[in-house]
Structure 1
Amino acid sequence: MQQPDDDQWLAERSRVIGDRIREHRDRLHYSQEYLYLAAGISRDVLQRIEAGRHNPTLYTLLRIARALDTPLADLVR
């Protein structure tokens, strides 16, 4: 079986993670402002993560998961 191009695969995974964060945020009726403040990150970083255009650190993902009160695994599975 042929493996997908790494860059393409990583870009797709980033979009999926961003989509899951946005879905959790929307389900909780949290605004982006609420989430970035609760997670202690910048607005720009959250927007780029949700758009799949940012490579967040593990700490950033953990902060977001904690602010959403959801396991990190639910965001990155």
Structure 2
Amino acid sequence: MRDLPDDDSWIPERLERMGRQLQAERMRQNLTQESVFLAAGINRATLQNIEAGRGNPTITTLLRIAHILGVPLARLVDDNGPTGP
């Protein structure tokens, strides 16, 4: 088990990485933001913010997006980078 850092300074970087992974998967499938946010039942700004690494998306929102993309949630939030917590 890992110890948490003393502060949450690592979280914004992790959210940005997750947003890039989500955007890359969407683009890999040749889907527009519009098609994804409409199918997922979320608003445009929510998807834009997630892809930009801003905000604090709920697990429900992430599950909806993963379902629409037809991928496991883990693919969108997987952290294999060397700077992950």
Provide TM-score, normalisation by structure 1: 0.91
> In proportion to residue count, which structure has more helix?
1
Residue deviations 1:21-77, cap 9 Å, x none?
100000000000001011110000000000001110000000000010000000111
1:15-26 alignment runs, 5 A limit? 15-26=16-27
Inter-CA distance 6–67: structure 2 relative to 1 (3 Å threshold):
farther
- In structure 1, the residue corresponding to 2:10 is in which secondary structure? helix
1:1-77 alignment runs, 5 A limit? 6-77=7-78
Identify unmatched segments of 5+ residues in structure 1: none
Aligned residue pairs: how many?
Answer: 76
Q: Percent identity?
A: 53
Matched to 2:40, the amino acid is A
CA distance in 2, matches of 1:50, 1:64: 11
CA RMSD, Structure 1 to Structure 2 (Å):
1.5
Q: Runs of 4 or more off by more than 2 Å in structure 1?
A: 3-8
CA distance in 1, matches of 2:75, 2:6: 25
